[in-house]
Amino acid sequence: MHLLKSVLVVLFSVSHFPRDIKGLTRSIDQEIKKEIDDFIKDVYLPSNNITGLGLTVLQLQNGEKEEVLYTAGFGLADKAKEIPNTNETQFLIGSITKSFTATIAVKFLHETFPDLGEKVLDTPVRELVPEYNFTLSDRFRSEQVSFRDLLAHRVCSNRNDFLLLSEATNSTSELVYRQRYNQEMCPIRSEFQYSNNMYAAAGELLAAIAKKPYETLVSEFLTELGMSNSSLVQPSDDFSSMPFRAQPYYVINNVSYPSNEGLVKRVTTTNSAGGLCIPPNDMDKYLRFHLNEGQIGNSQIIPKDVMLWLTKSSISVPLFGYKSSEDDVEVINTFAYGLGFFLASLDGWQLTEHSGSVPPYTAQLSLFPKQKIGIFMGMHEGPLWVSPMVVHGFIFDILRGVNSTTATEKALKLIEKARQKQESKVKQEKVALFRKPAQEKRNWAEIVGKYGSGSSGDLEIIEKLNDQTNATQLYLNAGKWYRGWLGDEDAEGRFLLTWDSDVNQDYYAAGDLSGGEAYVQVRNGTAELLHRIVDELGSLAKFELGNKFSRDKVWKLKDVHA
C-alpha cells in the first residue's frame, strides 16, 4: 500500500525538449507545477475514484518566441506490474483522433487539388474519387456528400455504432459499405448528427484518393510533427506486452478491475474516428502545431489559410449553457463544429476542443487560441464522474494569473455539483421496464432463427444448454460481443437478456452498475436489441428474420472498391 501511494505522485516530468521549435522552451514555474500536481492528486483523481492520468500543458509566450511546457504521468499504467504512468505512456485518445483525421484531410486535399482551394471540401466525393462509388441511403446524399459533410457530422445518417460495438465485422471497408443501409435521421446538412461511421468513410476515401492506407497517411503526418511515440490501435496489439501503453481498468465500488483489451480493439474498424494512442510528450507537438497555425519550427506544414478551414464553423451545435444561480461558477458554450473540432467558449474565452471516449479510456484536448494555451489529459480508468474540463479550467485559470485559492474554490464547486448530480442518480429509484410476464409461453420455433440487418450485421437466436442452470435456454449471438441468455418473456414479447460476454464492462466503465440492462424483443419476424437509457428502452439494433441481409449475402454483393 505504501508503495502504491508513493507511486501516485508525479513520476516523470519534462526532461528534454524538442530542438525544432520556434523559440526557447523552459520548464513550468515550480510553484504553478505544484499547484497543478496537488489539484490533480489531492482533488481530481479522488473525486473520480481513479488513480492515474497523463497530462500535457503548453503555453506560448512573448509572441511565440518562448514557451512553457509541462508533461507528466500520474499513478500506474499497469497496476499488476506496478509500471508507472510517465510522459512517455500512451493513452488512447478516442474521438480526439477525429481532429487528426480532419487535419490530415485538409492537408492532403489542399496538396492534391490545389486549384480548388477551400471548395475541395464542398466538392462531392464522387467527383474526387469516382471509382470508389461511395453510396449512402438515397441518391441525392450519395451524389452530393462532401468531405465537409463527413468531417463536420452533417450527413444526417443514423449514428448506429452497433457494427463497431458488436464487432460484427473486422473490416472498415465492410462497415463503410453497409452505410447505404443506414437510415437517414434528417435532411443532409440540416442538423449536427455525430457519426463515427462517417469518419471511417472519410479515412477510406482519403486512402482511395492517395492510393495508400489511411494508416500510412497518419504515420506520415505523425512523422512530420515529430510524434515518433504515437500509433494507431492494431488488431494484433497485445496490451499486456506493451509497457508503454496505459492498461484499461473499470472501477466498481472503488475497486479497479482490468478491462478486456479486446473490447478496446474494436475501435480498429473505425480507427480514423478514434484509434490513436498518444503519450503526453508527443501531444505537446500537436498542441504546438495548432497554436502555431500549422507551423513546426521553421516549417509551415500546412498553410495558415488552410489551417483556418478546421476552425471555421461548418454547422451549428447549439449546446449552450446558462447560469442558473450566482453559485454557478463556470459556463461552457458550444456553438458550432468545424472540422474535427468543437468551437466553444469557456467563461467567454475562445475554446477549440474535442473529447474522446473508448471505455474505459477518456481524453480531453483544449486549445485557447487567444492565450496560446494548449492542454491535454488522457485517462485509462472509468467511469469518470467529474469532467476533465474541470482540470483544464483550473489550469487555464492558473496560467492566466488567477489566484490559486480562487481557482481551487471554483473547481471545487464544479466537483461538488457533479457529485450531487451523481448522488441524485444513484438514489433515484429505477422505473421497472420489464412488464408483466406473458400469459402464455411461445413456441420457441417462432423465435429461433437467423436474422439480419443491412446496417448492423447478423443476429442469431438458438436453443442451447446453459451449464450454469443445466437447462436448455434461448441464446442470442450478434457479432463477437453481443451474446447472452434470454430469460423470461413479458407481455410485449421482450426477453430479459443476461450477458454471456465481457460487453458488460462497457456499461461498468460508463457508470452503470447493473452491467447493462438489456432486452431482445422478438415479434412479427423481427428481433430488436434494446437497452435501458435512464427510465426508457433505447434501440441498439433491429434485425429481420431470414437471410436477406445476412453478412455473406450483403458483402458478396458489394461494389468493386478502389
- Find the angle CA(205)-CA(211)-CA(213) to the nearest 5 degrees: 70
Question: Average pLDDT for residues 110-116, to the nearest whole number?
Answer: 98
Residue 552 confidence (pLDDT): 67
Q: What percent of the chain has pLDDT over 70?
A: 91
- Find the angle CA(213)-CA(288)-CA(359) to the nearest 5 degrees: 60
Question: Average pLDDT for residues 88-114, to the nearest whole number?
Answer: 99
Residue 428 confidence (pLDDT): 72
Q: What percent of the chain has pLDDT over 90?
A: 79
Question: Average pLDDT for residues 113-133, to the nearest whole number?
Answer: 97
Picking from 505, 536, 498, the residue whose alpha carbon sits closest to that of residue 520 is 498
Query: Higher confidence at residue 87 or residue 24?
Result: 87
Q: What are phi and psi of 49, to 5 degrees?
A: 55, 35
The span from the CA of 459 to the CA of 230, in Å, is 36
Residue 256 confidence (pLDDT): 96
pLDDT at residue 7 is higher than 80: no
The span from the CA of 234 to the CA of 238, in Å, is 9
| Tens digits of residue pLDDT in 125-170 | 999 999 999 999 999 999 999 999 999 999 999 999 999 999 998 7
**Helices and strands (H and E) in the chain: how many:** 19, 28
Picking from 117, 111, 143, 116, the residue whose alpha carbon sits closest to that of residue 130 is 143
Chain-wide mean pLDDT for the chain? Answer: 91
Question: Average pLDDT for residues 160-186, to the nearest whole number?
Answer: 93
Q: What are phi and psi of 226, to 5 degrees?
A: 80, 20
Residue 1 confidence (pLDDT): 33
**424, amino acid identity:** S
Query: In this structure, are strands 315-319 and 332-337 parallel, antiparallel, or unpaired?
Result: antiparallel
C-alpha cell at 83: 509500471
Query: In this structure, are strands 349-358 and 255-258 parallel, antiparallel, or unpaired?
Result: unpaired
Of 59-68, 99-108, 249-258, 410-419, the least confident: 59-68
Residue 61 confidence (pLDDT): 87
Question: Average pLDDT for residues 255-276, to the nearest whole number?
Answer: 97
| Tens digits of residue pLDDT in 446-493 | 999 999 999 999 999 999 999 999 999 999 999 999 999 999 899 889
pLDDT at residue 271 is higher than 60: yes
In the chain the domains, ranked by start, together with CATH numbers, are: 2-92+274-426 (3.40.710), 444-556 (2.40.128)
Residue 5 confidence (pLDDT): 31
Question: Average pLDDT for residues 71-92, to the nearest whole number?
Answer: 98
Question: Average pLDDT for residues 70-86, to the nearest whole number?
Answer: 98
Question: What's the pTM?
Answer: 0.92
3 state SS of 119: helix
| Tens digits of residue pLDDT in 535-557 | 889 999 999 999 776 666 665 55
Residue 327 confidence (pLDDT): 65
The span from the CA of 509 to the CA of 257, in Å, is 10
Q: What is the dihedral of CA 437, 438, 444, 448, to 10 degrees?
A: -80
| DSSP assignment letter at 249 | E
Q: By the 8 A CB rule, do 457 and 162 touch?
A: yes
Residue 326 confidence (pLDDT): 66
Q: By the 8 A CB rule, do 252 and 505 touch?
A: no
Q: Give the pLDDT band of residue 440 (cuts 50, 70, 90).
A: confident
First CA to last CA across the chain, in angstroms? Answer: 56
pLDDT at residue 3 is higher than 90: no
Of 23-32, 170-179, 343-352, the least confident: 23-32
pLDDT at residue 324 is higher than 60: yes
Residue 329 confidence (pLDDT): 66
Residue 71 confidence (pLDDT): 97
Query: Higher confidence at residue 282 or residue 15?
Result: 282
Residue 533 confidence (pLDDT): 87
pLDDT at residue 26 is higher than 80: no
Query: Higher confidence at residue 3 or residue 248?
Result: 248
| Tens digits of residue pLDDT in 369-412 | 999 999 999 999 999 999 999 999 999 999 999 999 999 999 99
Whether the bond between 383 and the residue before it is cis, its omega within 30 degrees of 0, is yes
Question: Average pLDDT for residues 280-285, to the nearest whole number?
Answer: 98
| Tens digits of residue pLDDT in 206-234 | 999 999 999 999 999 999 999 999 999 99
Residue 21 confidence (pLDDT): 45
> In sequence order, which residues have a C-beta less than 8 Å from that of residue 272 and are 6 or more positions away?
97, 98, 101, 199, 200, 202, 203, 204, 214
